[in-house]
Amino acid sequence: MDLSKYKNLRFFVPNLNSLACKCVALTVIALVLRAVFLPRFCSFRGIEPNNSFAFNKPFRIYSEFHSRNSKFLEVPQIVWGLNNQKIALARACLTARLLNRTLLMPSLSASLFYKEIDKLEPISFHKVFQFEKFNSLCKGFVQLARHSEISNRSNVFELQKGTGRRWTIEKDLDQLRQLSSNHYDDYEVIRITGKNPFLWHDHWPVEDYSTVFQCLVLVEDISRQADKVISKIRQIGLQENHNISTGYVAVHMRIEEDWMIHCKKMQQRSNISEICSSKDEIMERVTNIVGLKKPVAIYIAVADNLLEDKTLLSGWNEGLLPFTKKKLGVVELYEKQPYLIQSAIDYEVCLRSNVFVGNSFSTFSSLVVLDRTQKMINIGVGKLCGIDVMWPSYAYNLLGKSKGPRPWATNMSDSSLNAVSYGTNHISCL
Ligand SMILES: *[C@@H]1O[C@H](CO)[C@@H](O)[C@H](O)[C@H]1NC(C)=O
Ligand SMILES: *[C@@H]1O[C@H](CO)[C@@H](O)[C@H](O)[C@H]1NC(C)=O
Ligand SMILES: *[C@@H]1O[C@H](CO)[C@@H](O)[C@H](O)[C@H]1NC(C)=O
Ligand SMILES: *[C@@H]1O[C@H](CO)[C@@H](O)[C@H](O)[C@H]1NC(C)=O
Ligand SMILES: *[C@@H]1O[C@H](CO)[C@@H](O)[C@H](O)[C@H]1NC(C)=O
Ligand SMILES: *[C@@H]1O[C@H](CO)[C@@H](O)[C@H](O)[C@H]1NC(C)=O
């Protein structure tokens, strides 16, 4: 495959916005068509009168949702790593949708701490993602509001969310459903409190999460930083080898020590041997990607504590030119930013890569692949696996053809996010 042919795609230029709009429009059209041509699903609601909200419905009609402008949902500060925060944020949105309420712009956390509350460094949603863009892309699905829109701050119903092992997914869902009864209509704000890194359980299909993720567009200042990193990868690659393809491969390498301990435990517990991959295995599999045009630049995305590790750059086969943040000279650009923004930049660099290679047991990798898969579906691509698709992805922990990594796409029909993000080796490509 000639990667260079993709270099002019609008996806790779800083302005993602108009494409995103079109994508949403196309998704809506596709969903409406599905709804029209699959009438058997329309009787769904008739069979289950209790199920008046769009749980696990195989399609969405956006106009079904009428967020009442004057009714709000407030959620606790969202914490932990970028991916946990995105998942929790989507969950808050989907809860607001369930309650026909507008979600008050939540507070995210700029630092990685979770338990030490004083170090959480709250950062408002709109400092990371574009607020108005979110509302325009997610119109009819879910809406965000500013806290200043509340008219009566004492008209609040506060709900403490349950936790612990005995707080089952069914209890959790029941509690949320009860909130949607008329009884709570008089409250302007429903404020949910409690402490859980993901807010609460996963009650929604992958498609619903994906819809919310598609509305999250980084603020320009952050996406400009990602642009800088990406153009560095291309420039420095060209300086080193004039024959290099203008595209790049991003490899999300999970090889840091605490991950290795964690993944070996997972391997034992789940009796699955394909979770951990050594650096050598990753390098070998990337080399063997069927159809990868070489020479090509490799962007190595690693955890912070490996930034100084010089061995990351050695051992790559000829034709693969590895780059770390240090070699690109972008360490400073990252260090100026808090933890959350650093991850957001790295996520963007992986998302926009021509080829992405990650670990199917990593949430970061899984969300990148989900995003890439959704973008291909949005533009109407039928085939999702292999090097000749628009944005190919691979799982290096799973063995594919010719000793390469296995092609990877997200199964959008999965009924829960668990299946695609908390670790799995079902990656819907063969
Ligand atoms: C909802 O379903 C339960 C049992 O599944 C039933 O007892 C209840 O009456 C139903 N409520 C409504 C409003 O249909
Ligand atoms: C605000 O809400 C409280 C509690 O519902 C209510 O008692 C009070 O009258 C409201 N104030 C105004 C100005 O509506
Ligand atoms: C949400 O709004 C729709 C349309 O107005 C309505 O049919 C539905 O009953 C509402 N649900 C709740 C929980 O208020
Ligand atoms: C670039 O390609 C040409 C023709 O294939 C080859 O002769 C040359 O050695 C290559 N240069 C590098 C730096 O690989
Ligand atoms: C683990 O998997 C292997 C092969 O897949 C199987 O032979 C073995 O019985 C399994 N062990 C347990 C404890 O499930
Ligand atoms: C995707 O998920 C659905 C629902 O779990 C399942 O029926 C289907 O077989 C999966 N498709 C692939 C390709 O894994």
In this structure, which residue's CA is closest to atom 4 in ligand 4? Answer: 243
d(CA 184, ligand 1 centre) in Å: 19
Q: Which CATH architecture has domain 220-422?
A: 3-Layer(aba) Sandwich (3.40)
b/e burial code for range 174-213 (CB count within 10 A of at least 16 → b): ebbbebbeeeeeebbbbbbeeebebbbbbbbbbbbbbbbb
Does the C-beta of 56 come closer than 6 Å to ligand 6? no
Question: pLDDT tens digits, the chain, 430 residues: what are they?
Answer: 333 333 333 333 333 344 444 544 545 444 444 433 333 332 222 222 322 222 222 334 444 455 566 899 999 999 888 988 999 999 999 999 999 999 999 999 998 776 666 677 899 999 999 999 999 999 999 999 999 999 988 999 998 887 778 888 888 888 888 888 888 888 999 999 887 767 777 889 999 999 999 999 999 999 999 999 999 999 998 888 888 888 999 999 998 888 888 889 988 888 888 888 999 999 999 999 999 999 999 999 987 777 777 788 999 999 999 999 999 999 999 999 999 999 999 999 999 999 999 999 888 999 999 999 999 998 887 889 998 899 999 999 999 999 999 999 998 888 888 766 656 667 778 6
- Say if CB 120 and CB 84 are below 8 A apart: no
CA 66 to chain centre: 26
Do the domains spanning 72-214 and 220-422 agree at the CATH topology level? yes
Which pTM was predicted?
Answer: 0.80
Domain 72-214 has CATH 3.40.50: yes
d(CA 155, ligand 2 centre) in Å: 6
Domain spans, the chain: 72-214, 220-422
Backbone φ and ψ for 169, nearest 5 degrees, come out as -60, -35
Positive/negative CA dihedral, 409, 203, 195, 262: negative
Q: Which amino acid is at 206?
A: V
Helix (H) or strand (E) holding 214: helix 206-214
